[in-house]
Amino acid sequence: MHFVVVGCGRVGSDLASRLSKNNHSVVVIDLYPEAFDHLPHDFQGRMVEGEGLAQDVLHRAGIEEADGLAAVTDSDSVNAVIAHVAKTVYHIDSIVVRNTDPAWRPFQEAFGVQIVSSAGWGAQRIEELLYPTATPIVFSAGNGEVEIYECAVPDPWAGAQLREMLPEQGVIPVSITRAGRAELPAPEMVLESGDLLHLSATLEGIEALRKRLDSRMEH
């Protein structure tokens, strides 16, 4: 597949590198030639210097053949306009826009493209992690009969086996993340404080888990 990445800052360079390593054709555009220094030395894609809104620059990047475009400059307004041009002029279906200022997000949403808000997502994610006993929903299936919950292991449960913490019915462990590395959890796995569990559960199952967590917290 052929992708065009507009903006070669920290986000754009990392994205372009990832796409290239997955054997895709990648062209990264930036107005400033020194921005390409962010790319790793083994980057296999092409670099095009110029304004991301200029037709000749987009043409040199092969936008007519692009399967997807990411507008990830540090300007929310520029990203929105680039996305609009890619969608309406070049009829690209897969477009992702970077959002840095939450106040600009409604404007970007009006263009009907996918948006990744680093500030908004990051703040929400940090807030969730600050609540050690919270079990927020991260995915909902069907009409909510089964959902994926996130649960940070509280201090009182450190040293216990996973099977001890989970109720007998209604909850199935999906993954456990420790020190930034995720793996499939075994029932006999010994928990550590701060482990991040993802659990598939019914409403009854997650309520039973919350009660079990609270019961040990009270002692």
Tens of pLDDT, residue by residue, the chain (219 residues): 999 999 999 999 999 999 999 999 999 999 999 999 999 999 999 999 999 999 999 999 999 999 999 999 999 999 999 999 999 999 999 999 998 888 878 888 777 888 888 777 677 656 655 655 568 888 877 657 888 999 989 899 999 999 999 999 999 999 999 988 999 999 999 999 889 999 999 988 988 998 888 887 665
Same domain, 53 and 132: no
In terms of residue numbers, what domain contains 173?
127-217
Residue with tokens 């200029």: 54
Q: Concatenated DSSP letters for 151-206?
A: EEPPGGGTTSBHHHHS-SSSEEEEEEEETTEEEPPPTTPBP-TT-EEEEEE-HHHH
Same domain, 133 and 170: yes
- Write the CATH number for 20: 3.40.50.720
Same domain, 9 and 109: yes
Same domain, 151 and 103: no
* Nearest-angstrom CA–CA distance, 208 and 202: 10
Specify which residues 99 forms β-bridges with.
117
Same domain, 76 and 140: no
Amino acid at 195: D
